[in-house]
Amino acid sequence: MAKEVMPDIAIIDYGMGNLRNVEKALARVGGQPRIIASPEEADGARALVLPGVGAFGQAMDRLTESGFDRLVKDWVRADRPFLGICLGLQLLFTESEEFGPVSGLDLVSGRVVRFRGPAFEPDGDAPGLKVPHMGWNRLNIVNPHALLEGVLEDAMAYFVHSYYCAPDDPGWTAVTTDHGIEFTSAVARGNVFASQFHPEKSGDLGLTMLTNFVRLVHAAGSRG
């Protein structure tokens, strides 16, 4: 019997991602990830992953200079399997106010804004909520998606960020989380999913989501 060919998942390396942890986590759940340093290396891939940590503007500069911006736009618009992680979610939006406004990929209409408001301000002996939002927090699933299959309501995921995404169309929001305000912590539409939290750092929950991503890639490949 011929050995089953596993999904080929391209992970974009533009110098601003936690690539090895993402690569190891996808391999652990049965994917066949590979890190790519140029858009041409995505040829033959069945799925694309955009990770990222750091400043929005610098990330956009690197995506544009490398040509990865065009690859991501074409991929998402074609509804091919796509996973964005942390900054990889924020870059999909129209613009960010981080050292800006700075224009993003404009694949999801909306803005990336900093946590602010009364909940973050000192009040007597209470210091207010911390920014960055760092550590474990609960997920509230508001729009079911294939990547969320088997994820229990109020499951905990790992976050590290000072800015959050505010889509213009609430239909994009798949998951929300509360940190002083209720914010969009994941977006989804078709074969496209992107999360503010880190699946590769979120234990069993993250592995469940990445397993679902590999299954989605299989399913999309069998249809194509």
- Contacts for 97 with CB less than 8 Å, ≥ 6 apart: 111, 112, 113, 114, 163
> Which of the residues 145, 161, 179, 198 is marked catalytic?
198
* The one catalytic residue among 23, 95, 98, 200: 200
Q: Which runs of E-coded beta strand occur in 40-127?
A: 47-50, 82-85, 93-96, 102-103, 108-114
Annotation marks residue 200 as catalytic = yes
Active site residue 4: no
Contact 159, 196 (CB under 8 A): yes
For 77, the token pair is 């618009």
Residue from 23, 86, 98, 133 carrying the catalytic annotation: 86
Q: Note if 161 is an active site residue.
A: no
Taking each helix axis from N to C end, the angle separating 19-28 and 203-223, rounded to the nearest 10 degrees, works out to: 70
Burial 41-60 (b: 16+ CB within 10 A, else e): ebeebbbbbbbbeebbbbbb
- By annotation, the residues acting in catalysis are 86, 198, 200
